Amino acid sequence: RLNDTAPFQATEFHTDLNDLTQILPYEISESILRCKNVLREICLDIGEIPLAWSGVGSDYKRYPLCDIAKPVVTDELQHIAEYITNFGLDNRASVEGSLHRISAIRNRDRRLIGLTIRIGRYVKGSTFIISDLLHAYPDKSILFLGGPGSGKTTLIREVASVLAETKNVLIVDTSNEIGGDSDLKHECVGKARRMMVSDQSKQKDVMIECVQNHTPDVMVIDEIGRSKEVDAARTCVNRGVRLIASAHGNLE
């Protein structure tokens, strides 16, 4: 039930595309600025016209991104790759200082042939509807479930910021998707601290290290999906740490 005593807080949507538009071809940059509030993903594949996904739920749809039906060429992908951080073993990278995630598609020779750009945003005030869960039950851990692009990471960013006002919050940031791909964390996570994960397979180890070395009140993690990570999460909770996490799935 919604916390009746929590003051209403209007939501503020923040979608900063400036860093992204500077590395994209001009036609694509102009198109995404016209639909930035509903844009979710950009798909760039060699030999295909640029495509975008926008909307949510039943309004989720795909459409050509540019008015000119010009296929993507190799040089355009390489140009973008030169301006982003190095791709990790999970083929994910980012524009430094931004929340946008860029994932690579490669051929059998590991040559870049496609990019998927997930638009990152943060929404101030988005935790109002779960304020009772966050504040009235401070010892209870929370797991957010949903499909890809449903807003789990966006909500977790704001949860980390809100709880960090009064608690020692540490983020275990596996792909730097919560706090951005830079040594300086993004402003959206507020006073929360962050531990980066060099390899997705090491997420469980960083979770345990976080508890042993940095004594967090709250640990925030995006995308728990493997049995060893579940075991690590259980260990953290048993040591008195509140866990805020997300996972792909539903309750059906």
- Single pTM value for the model: 0.82
- What's the pLDDT band for 142 if we cut at 50, 70, 90? very high
pLDDT at 176: 86
pLDDT in tens, 143-153: 999 887 788 89
pLDDT digits (tens, 9 = 90+) for 186-218: 999 999 999 998 888 899 999 999 999 999 999
Three state DSSP letters for the chain:
CCCCCCCCCCCEEECCCHHHHCCCCHHHHHHHHHCCCCEEEEEEEECCCCEEEECCHHHCEEEECCCCCCCECHHHHHHHHHCCCCCCCCCEEECCCCCCEEEEEECCCCCEEEEEEECCCEEECCCHHHHHHHHCCCCCCEEEEECCCCCHHHHHHHHHHHHCCCCCEEEEECCCCCCCCCCCCCHHHCCCEEEECCCHHHHHHHHHHHHHHHCCCEEEECCCCCHHHHHHHHHHHHCCCEEEEEEECCCC
Whether 58 shows a pLDDT value over 80: the answer reads no
Tens of pLDDT, residues 109-135: 999 999 999 988 888 888 888 888 898
pLDDT at 2: 46
Q: What is the pLDDT of residues 33-42, one digit of tens each?
A: 777 667 889 9
Reply yes or no on whether the pLDDT at 72 is more than 80.
Answer: yes
